[in-house]
Amino acid sequence: MFKSMFLKLAIVGILSLLVPAVLYAAGKHEGLNCTGCHGIHTAQGDIIFAVEPNKKVKNPRTNKPYTGVTALCLGCHETIENGGMGIIPVSASKSHPYGVVPNPKVANVPPSFLRSGELACVGCHDPHPSNPNYKYLRVDTEGGADMQKFCVVCHSSKADVEVTKIEVFSSMDERKASHESPLVEKPAKKSKSKKKKR
């Protein structure tokens, strides 16, 4: 009897150790738990970012470090040698351009996708856990199977897709949130000392 109880406790113990690790390893920003990106009282950068902006890796277009949100993403998503944390590093020299003022001949970028006039990481990704799309892209590409639908947002003359009806995901306007107020008031518990009859 003692043995089986010990086993149960051991299993519960192992599970509680595994659960957070599994969540993190799921490969999603959920595991960052808001405060992994936003340092509430200990911020290192703009939008109260918890991670220091990457000041090391250079933008091949300008030969200067990246700025704004791009530098924040690269605080994690670059190699350690390049000033990041080695979390799925995206390499600037072999990547689709980011941190660039778009040449309108190459890309027609909707203004809401630009930050300080540049195409930042968030022009293509909305990194919030609420984004259900593949790789946090702003457009649903059906798990990556219909990537044209995403590219067409800025490169419409290249793709064979209806350009007028593309739904774009954005978490940046709370007024457009689909839920009603989640608040439910919880009455205060009566304190034990009051319950006792004197």
Residues that bind ligand HEC (CB under 6 A): 27-29, 32, 34, 36-38, 47, 51, 69-70, 72-77, 87-88, 90, 96-98, 100, 102-103, 106-107, 109, 113, 115, 119, 121-125, 127-129, 135-137, 144, 147, 150-151, 153-155, 172
In this structure, the dihedral spanned by the alpha carbons of residues 97, 103, 155 and 88, taken in order and rounded to 10 degrees, is 10
CB of 106 to ligand HEC, least distance (A): 4
DSSP string covering 58-112: EETTTTEE--HHHHHHTTTSS-TTTTS--SSPPPGGGSS--SB---TTT----GG
CB of 19 to ligand HEC, least distance (A): 16
88: left (phi over 0), alpha (psi -120 to 50) or beta: left
CB of 140 to ligand HEC, least distance (A): 12
Cβ proximity to ligand HEC: between 17 and 106 the closer is: 106
Residues whose CB is less than 8 angstroms from the CB of residue 52 and which lie 6 or more positions away in sequence, other chains included:
44, 45, 75
Cβ proximity to ligand HEC: between 13 and 117 the closer is: 117
Q: With contact defined as beta carbons under 8 Å apart, do 62 and 44 qualify?
A: no
CB of 190 to ligand HEC, least distance (A): 33
Cβ proximity to ligand HEC: between 58 and 115 the closer is: 115
